[in-house]
A and B are shown apart, each in its own frame.
Chain A
Amino acid sequence: MSTVLPDVDERVALVWNALCAVPDPEIPAVNIVELGLIRFVKTRADGILQVGLSPTYVGCPATEVIRGSVTEALKAADIGDFEVTQVLSPAWTSDWISAEGRRKLHAYGIVPPERTVSNMRDVLRANRPVACPRCDSVDTETLSQFGSTPCKALHRCRACLEPFEYFKCI
């Protein structure tokens, strides 16, 4: 029953590859690496691989699903013993969504988040207009600050009359 494990660097690379294949359960157009949910992949002295995973919102049910999918993906990748650790600090920020992730969100019809500014105090002030992902008009309005998932707000374009979602900056 002896399996030959790949060397350390190769194992870490295999882990990243496997993680890139895990889609977000609510927004399958992007994977969890593009969403910036992986804090680290490292090998402990005893050879066990450690994956650090950030939750997006504390109560988001997708967090549990993602943890399960990561475990499944790593088992399937056959990289040996591993451990998935929840990382609360530093808290996940929407700034960690990669450029590719932002592009894919937009193509999927979800406006990617603005960059967080000055400790996010601006959140308590009024919204800046969000451009419609379909027609690019900035003549839009907020229908609800909370959408179908904790991370999104619901907007409507007054120009093309289509509703659309905005990934909140946090």
Chain B
Amino acid sequence: MSLGSPAVDVHTADAQSLFHYVLRLGDLSLVLGQRLGEWVGHSPALEEDLGVANIALDLIGQARLLLTYAGEVEGRGRDEDKLAYLREQGAYFNAILAEQPNGDFGQTIVRQVLIDAFQLELYERMTNSLDERLAAIAAKSVKEIRYHLRYSSGWLVRLGDGTEESHARVQSALELLWPYTVELFAEDDLDRLMADSGIAPRLLEVHDAWVRRIAAILTEATLQLPQDRPHAWHGKRGQHSEHLGYILAEMQYLQRAYPDARW
């Protein structure tokens, strides 16, 4: 199966940078998808089991497209499976919000709203990417992400505007997770290079749209928007929290124990 060659101008964005950037996108989807999968069989109700599992499946689907592309850009023969199963923690480039523990269902929903809205604003803009492959992946994914956000924001409104207990729980989950959102929008040299090359949108622009969207959801959910605080997270550069290692240990176990095992 071939999806065409990368359409990137290698003079402005070198292959190594593009590889690294595509991994940031793909790893966010993969790690969050793996996290959500932990709910399967444990959700508060069968409908939520289905909902969360379906979102996880879409996220893994995004990750497959993105890691496959990353492997082609890198040009060293690594496919989606090699990249997913055989990279060490320090070679994962997801923002660390994705790897934070599920907590209770409310905390999972808060994390999901924050990331769904980020992905929605990012990928809607990336449909105009000069990199045709990323534009196609974005156009495909954004349709599904709208359903993810409808699900997660629907639950956040129900829990925030629910009982005293549910309100207090999601507000405290919001306070807990909010600091990690800063990393999503912290533009570094790589983000700047991708935006300058017309491959990715400006993170500042994504952030403005994201804040407006989140603020509207929180208002409906009767929740307070937390304050931004300085952060020192660098998952996008491979420096992770203590949680990622456990996720990878579970996800990679089979391929590490039985190299090249197939279904």
Q: Which residues of A contact B (CB under 8 A)?
A: 55, 57-61, 67, 84-86, 88-93, 120-121, 123-124, 143-148, 150, 154, 168, 170
Contact = CB atoms under 8 A, between A and B. Distances in A.
Contact of B135 (A89, A120, A124): A89
Contacts of A144: 47-48, 50-51
B144 A89 contact: no
Residue of A85, A91, A143, A148 with most partner-chain B CB within 10 A: A91
19 contacts: A58-B61, A58-B62, A59-B59, A59-B60, A59-B61, A59-B64, A60-B57, A86-B1, A88-B3, A88-B139, A89-B135, A89-B139, A91-B140, A123-B147, A144-B48, A146-B51, A146-B55, A146-B147, A154-B47
B215 interface: no
B146 A57 contact: no
B223 to A, nearest CB: 18
Interface residues of B, number: 34
| Closest 6 pairs between A and B when the two form their complex, measured CB to CB | A59-B61, A58-B61, A89-B136, A144-B47, A146-B54, A59-B57
Contacts of B139: 88-91
B102 to A, nearest CB: 18
Interface string B144-156: 1011011101100
Contacts of A148: 50
Contacts of B143: 91, 93, 120, 170
B50 A124 contact: no
A85 B2 contact: yes
A85 B60 contact: no
A93 B50 CA distance: 22
A101 B126 CA distance: 32
Contacts of A84: 1
B140 A89 contact: yes
B65 interface: yes
Contacts of A88: 3, 65, 136-137, 139-140
Nearest to B55: A146
A89 B4 CA distance: 11
B61 A60 contact: yes
B132 interface: yes
B141 interface: yes
Contact of A120 (B2, B146, B153): B146
A60 B65 CA distance: 12
Interface string B49-79: 0110111011111101100000000000000
A145 B51 contact: yes
B136 A91 contact: yes
Contact of B146 (A86, A91, A123): A123
A58 B140 contact: yes
B133 to A, nearest CB: 8
Nearest to A116: B143
